[in-house]
């Protein structure tokens, strides 16, 4: 399964982060989560001097609290 997410949107409507999600972990459990981990491939659309964007990075994002 492939899931493409948009993690944040700035006031001007620009996307903050693109992500292809591999795994989502709710802590301490799914019925009453206090934190969330999102694992996958992420890219923040930050232009570099050549006009291209920085390369995607594999890793995780951690959100606490909801």
- pLDDT at 41 (0 to 100): 93
Q: What is the largest CA-CA distance in the chain?
A: 46
Of 41, 49, 46, the C-alpha closest to 22 is 41
Both structure tokens of 53 = 């964007």
Task: Report the C-alpha gap between 15 and 36 in whole angstroms.
Answer: 20
For residues 46 and 19, which has the higher predicted lDDT (pLDDT)?
Answer: 19
**Distances in whole angstroms, Cα of residue 44 to Cα of each of 12, 20, 27, 37:** 15, 12, 25, 17
For residues 1 and 17, which has the higher predicted lDDT (pLDDT)?
Answer: 17
Range of the domain at 35: 4-63
How many structural domains compose the chain?
A: 1
The predicted-structure confidence for 2-41, as pLDDT tens digits, reads as follows 444 444 545 555 567 788 999 999 888 888 888 889 999 9
pTM value?
Answer: 0.63
Q: What's the rounded mean pLDDT across residues 38-66?
A: 79
Which residues on adjacent β-strands are paired with residue 6? Answer: 18
């Amino acid at each position: 399964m492939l899931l493409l997410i948009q993690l944040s949107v700035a006031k001007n409507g620009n996307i903050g982060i693109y992500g292809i999600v591999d795994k989502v972990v709710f802590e301490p459990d799914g019925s009453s989560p206090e934190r969330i981990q999102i694992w996958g491939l992420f890219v923040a659309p930050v232009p570099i001097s050549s006009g291209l964007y920085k390369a995607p990075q594999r890793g995780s994002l951690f959100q606490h609290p909801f």
